[in-house]
């Protein structure tokens, strides 16, 4: 069945998707189309966390989708096909021998091809989508914007990332952006893009579950909140040093730790209501 026919009905769906540059690693598009949705409505691409639970992350966005008429598309990188951090969070940048794969074959390019498929199916007419990622998905989003730019995205939020690829060519990827064939033009593009870093104020535990603990990550701060602050500060300092425009934004969300559902609500509030919603007490941890 075509993508158009699979999205013809309202509600949830799980749609097989084969990326033409990674055909041996199929994905699933976990989608939600609210009643009354039309192709002119906004599209939100949602990047899941380390548990590869795109269905949960899609569902986190359903309240906002119903309120604002959003098409939610969560590309899901199953563990069977994308088992390691290198395959998802870090974009499948290197071959098994350590050589850099072709730029367009990195999985950071897949959201762009998903958008192209939505357009071809006639279910998206907006000029640009928005993209949101939490935890491992936050790592994915900021690295995607760093390496592929944000031309296809009206807005991008990286929430509660475990650690960051620093905006420097002096450190090799994934600690920095060196060794990938990127240059000063890509750094300038990154600083100019309105990348939005979202950090839960309670997501600050140095001993949190699944917090990256390699020395390069620990050097960025003891917890996810500290690492978000460090990443933002490094970006601003570097841009100012070179006289470059700097359009990033950092928002610290009160009362929330590593909660994918609550942070999704925070992102939706900022994007579509212009403010953070009133947050309930911290809920279960979501990865």
What local confidence, expressed as pLDDT, does residue 285 receive?
56
> Contact at 8 Å (CB) between 211 and 203?
no
What local confidence, expressed as pLDDT, does residue 287 receive?
64
227 vs 210: CA distance, rounded Å: 14
154 vs 164: CA distance, rounded Å: 22
The list of the chain residues with pLDDT below 50 reads 280-284
> Contact at 8 Å (CB) between 51 and 287?
yes
104 vs 107: CA distance, rounded Å: 8
- Say what the alpha-carbon torsion angle 215, 108, 155, 165 is, to the nearest 10 degrees: 20
What local confidence, expressed as pLDDT, does residue 281 receive?
43
> Going from the N-terminus, what domains does the chain have, and what CATH number goes with each?
3-272 (3.40.50.1820)
Assigned token pair, 44: 């939100």
What local confidence, expressed as pLDDT, does residue 283 receive?
47
Considering only CA atoms, give the Rg of the chain. 18
What local confidence, expressed as pLDDT, does residue 159 receive?
98
Residues constituting the chain: 287
What local confidence, expressed as pLDDT, does residue 280 receive?
45
> Contact at 8 Å (CB) between 216 and 161?
no
């Amino acid at each position: 069945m075509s993508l158009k026919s699979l999205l013809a009905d309202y509600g949830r769906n799980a749609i097989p998707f084969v990326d033409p540059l990674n055909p041996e690693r199929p994905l699933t598009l976990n989608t939600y189309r609210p009643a009354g949705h039309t192709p002119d409505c906004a599209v939100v691409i949602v990047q899941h966390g380390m548990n590869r639970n795109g269905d949960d992350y899609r569902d986190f966005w359903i309240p906002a989708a119903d309120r604002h008429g959003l098409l939610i598309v969560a590309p899901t990188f199953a563990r069977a096909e994308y088992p390691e951090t290198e395959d998802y969070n870090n974009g499948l940048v290197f071959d098994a021998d350590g050589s850099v794969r072709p730029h367009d074959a990195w999985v950071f390019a897949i959201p762009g091809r998903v958008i192209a498929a939505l357009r071809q199916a006639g279910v998206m007419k907006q000029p640009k989508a928005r993209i949101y990622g939490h935890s491992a998905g936050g790592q994915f989003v900021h690295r995607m914007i760093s390496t592929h730019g944000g031309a296809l995205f009206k807005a991008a939020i990286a929430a509660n990332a475990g650690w960051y690829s620093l905006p420097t060519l002096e450190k090799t990827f994934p600690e920095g952006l060196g060794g990938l064939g990127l240059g000063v033009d890509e750094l300038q593009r990154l600083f100019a893009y309105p990348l939005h870093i979202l950090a839960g104020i309670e997501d600050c535990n140095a001993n949190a579950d699944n917090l990256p603990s390699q020395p390069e990550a620990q050097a960025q701060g003891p917890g996810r909140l500290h690492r978000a602050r460090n990443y933002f500060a490094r970006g601003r300092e570097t841009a100012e040093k070179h006289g470059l425009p700097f359009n990033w934004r950092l928002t610290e969300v009160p009362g929330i730790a590593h909660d994918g559902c609550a942070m999704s609500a925070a992102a939706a509030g900022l994007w579509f209501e212009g403010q953070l919603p009133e947050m309930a007490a911290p809920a279960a941890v979501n990865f």
